[in-house]
Amino acid sequence: MLRRTKIVATLGPATDSPESLAAIIAAGVDVTRLNFSHGSADDHIQRANRVRDAAASQGRFVAIMADLQGPKLRVARFTDNKVALKRGQIFVLDAAMDKEAGTAERVGIDYEELINDVKPGDILVLDDGRIEMEVEEVDERSITSRILIGGPLSNNKGLNKRGGGLSADALTEKDKQDIVTAAKLGADYVAVSFVRTADDMHTARALLKKAGSSAGLVAKIERAELAHDNDALDAVIEASDAVMVARGDLAVEIGDAELVGVQKNIISRARILNKVVITATQMMESMIENPMPTRAEVSDVANAVFDYTDAVMLSAETAVGDYPVEAVEAMVRICTGAERHPSTHTSGHRMHESMELVDEAIALSAMYAANHLDGVQAIICMTETGATPLLMSRIKSSLPIFAFSRHTSTQNRVTLYRGVQTVPFDSQQLPNEEVNAMAVAELLNRGVVEEGALVVMTKGDYANAQGGTNSMKIVRVGSQIR
């Protein structure tokens, strides 16, 4: 059975060698993530080139996602690099002090507008939620708080406000420069951090277009404002090509208790709105230092698969971990194991809704026909942009969807779509009456279908034209196909 859930792996020192990169791609990575919070533009360009070379050598299509840093709010630096904060003590965030002179009593902040975003009684969290403090006093230059949960705090650790409400723009000047780099290296996707509104995504898209890129945009959902407002969430999803459940900062802002429910809601809303969704952060965290995942991590990944996420993501596990290949292999095992469960094969998606678009009606009809007709082994979708296989991938099924396309950009884009495999196929070079037969022959040669099996096919009347999928055909392998 072909794995349907896709795997995103973050690149870093652990996978910089050609051998390590080739190994994780061979193990099953579908999309590589370049974390623009670290490294230079040249570093990212070199990694992207290595990905393309490694994928080509294996006959694979592997997408590249450029992940923008965004307005990561941080404390400044300490004189001794690290301090220990104790429960009950007073700790001051001082916007006016030397950024290199932090002590156990006070430290500078890099986002000075924080003073205008908080008030007494607010809870601030540091270092991904490991430290909590309650604001007691705010003046024109500093925030005085009392530590509720203490612990060690080192240089440049992240800072969030429980419940959200920070006014920092999603796109910093660094991000705008990095968008140009993403376009230069040919990124297939660009992820925008700390998105607040749909306008953030519209701005990012305009900047991408200006830089000469048509990359898909991924909105990282990590603000409390979107977690608690479905209208705002839907607007962001509709302005994007994909969304990421960025559970690290999201959990810090909304609290651990709400995270699972919010994750399920984001996945559901994305599927309803026909957009791709990635589930990310700490999925196999223990495998940074251990060759096997914990049972809790197995359940976490499997439950995301049951919720019908398109992809699951590895972060530090493959960027700096000791066992990057084993982490990918474990995720492959868990995904394929979860996909055997009957609940992932049947769908009621949009059964009781009307549709306005012909290509959407054809895509969903093809999937329902394939799911309910005995003997179907595969779905072939002739596509220019990948729009029709995306619609197909919203439907739960155990059957593989093959996106036949002549465009490398489309082949890379669909690597993120659940259940979709890509096949290079230039129908422009074939007589129209031979296209269907040659497409089925390609799957037969790959061993995907057998003689006598049924294949569902979709395409448009006008070959090689963008949009316009308007026909579905069911053919039998081995018979005369026109």
Structure tokens belonging to residue 447: 């061993």
pLDDT of residue 429: 86
Contacts of 118 (CB under 8 A, 6+ apart): 124, 135, 138, 143, 161
pLDDT values of the chain reduced to their tens digit, one per residue, 482 residues? 689 999 999 999 999 999 999 999 999 999 999 999 989 999 999 999 999 999 999 999 999 999 999 987 889 999 999 999 999 999 999 999 999 999 999 999 988 889 999 999 999 999 888 899 999 999 999 999 999 999 999 998 889 999 988 888 899 999 999 999 999 999 999 999 999 999 999 999 999 999 999 999 999 999 999 999 999 999 999 999 999 999 998 998 998 899 999 999 999 999 999 999 999 999 999 999 999 999 999 999 999 999 999 999 999 999 999 999 999 999 999 999 999 998 777 766 656 667 778 888 899 899 999 999 999 999 999 999 999 999 999 999 999 999 999 999 999 999 999 999 999 999 888 888 899 999 999 999 999 999 999 999 999 876 555 557 889 999 999 888 87
Active site residue 418: no
Catalytic residue among 74, 106, 130, 174: 74
- Is 141 catalytic? The answer is no
Quote the Cα angle for 475-476-481, to 5°.
Answer: 60
The one catalytic residue among 5, 181, 281, 388? 281
Which is catalytic among the residues 220, 394, 396, 459? 220
CB 189 within 8 A of CB 278: no
Position 351 scores a pLDDT of 61
87 labelled catalytic:
no
Q: Compute CA distances 435 → 26, 369, 447, 461, whole Å.
A: 31, 22, 19, 12
The token pair that represents 435 in the structure block: 């296209």
Q: Which residues contact 69 (CB under 8 A, 6 or more apart)?
A: 36, 37, 172, 174, 175, 178, 193
Residue tagged active-site, from 3, 4, 6, 33? 33
33 is catalytic: yes
Residue 70 gets the label, from left (phi > 0), alpha (psi -120 to 50) or beta, of left
SS3 of 165-213:
CCCCCCCCHHHHHHHHHHHHCCCCEEEECCCCCHHHHHHHHHHHHHCCC
Distances (CA, A) of 255 to 98, 160, 262, 435: 32, 11, 11, 54
Instruction: Please report the pLDDT score of residue 464 as a whole number.
Output: 52
Contacts by residues 345-353 (CB-CB < 8 Å, ≥ 24 positions apart): 345/371, 345/396, 345/397, 345/398, 346/371, 346/396, 347/371, 347/395, 347/396, 347/397, 349/271, 349/272, 349/394, 349/395, 349/396
Q: Which of 218, 277, 213, 219 shows the shortest CA–CA distance to 409?
A: 213
pLDDT at 460: 84
Other CB atoms within a 10 A radius of the CB of residue 182 amount to 31
CA distance 287 to 308: 24
Are 150 and 84 contacting, i.e. CB atoms less than 8 angstroms apart?
A: yes
